A and B are shown apart, each in its own frame.
Chain A
Amino acid sequence: QVQLQETGPGLVKPSETLSLNCTVSGGSVSSHYWSWIRQPPGKGLEWIGYISYSGSTSYNPSLKSRVTISLDTSKNQFSLKLSSVTAVDTAVYYCGSNPHEGVWTYWGQGTLVTVSS
């Protein structure tokens, strides 16, 4: 059973870079597809992007210019970087995965990131 755990700062200043890690247990980042999804408080879900086990990536065009998702096989984790954040980036950020890209069977518990000075 794959388990995911998001870690990172809960508060980021405007214009800075949001950085989160997702640590994988019960599985290997060398298989499956690994995604980030976010949910502003009280609102719906937004797909941010994914990275495959081979390292290929795909991002939501609405965020593409500011997003980087990467794999660290030595730590069995993957990461999200979102640059030039503003208040609209305040959300619960989830990491998710599945053997097949597109849906998410496994989810982290989510971490709230607030963008504020």
Chain B
Amino acid sequence: EIVLTQSPGTLSLSPGERATLSCMASQTIANNYLAWYRQKPGQAPRLLIYGAARRATGIPDRFSGSGSGTDFTLTISGLEPEDFAVYYCQQYGSSPRTFGQGTKLEIK
């Protein structure tokens, strides 16, 4: 099973700033099958990025994903109020599908 470790656990930033979230895998993720989700309180997660760098339908271009192998990054340029939430990375290169423990992005 691939273990995903996200850092930092909590990130405190102000609206308009740039956020950089990290996801490190315990082994290489096949085909860079790495996704990112945003989860607001009381809501289901929303798919942001898949295939490490492809934005899902309807996701604004302030969200970008990068990385390969075991190291992946989600960058959010110009934070909007709705971006303050919890972010999860998830791998689907092997079974079982696994998630990181989450990064909480909070307003500074």
Contacts and interface: CB of A to CB of B under 8 A. Distances in A.
Given A101-B92, A102-B92, A45 B45 contact: yes
A45 B92 contact: no
Contacts of B46: 107
Interface in B9-58: 33, 35, 43-47, 50, 56-57
A11 interface: no
Contacts of B101: 44
Contacts of A94: 44-45
B47 A47 contact: no
**Contact size range, B:** 20 to 34
Main DSSP-derived SS at the B contact region: loop
Given A103-B50, A103-B92, A105-B56, A47 B99 contact: yes
A103 B47 contact: yes
B99 to A, nearest CB: 4
Interface of B: 1, 33, 35, 43-47, 50, 56-57, 88, 90, 92, 95-102
A58 B95 contact: yes
Interface string A94-108: 101000011111011
A94 B47 CA distance: 14
A94 B88 CA distance: 15
Contacts of B50: 103
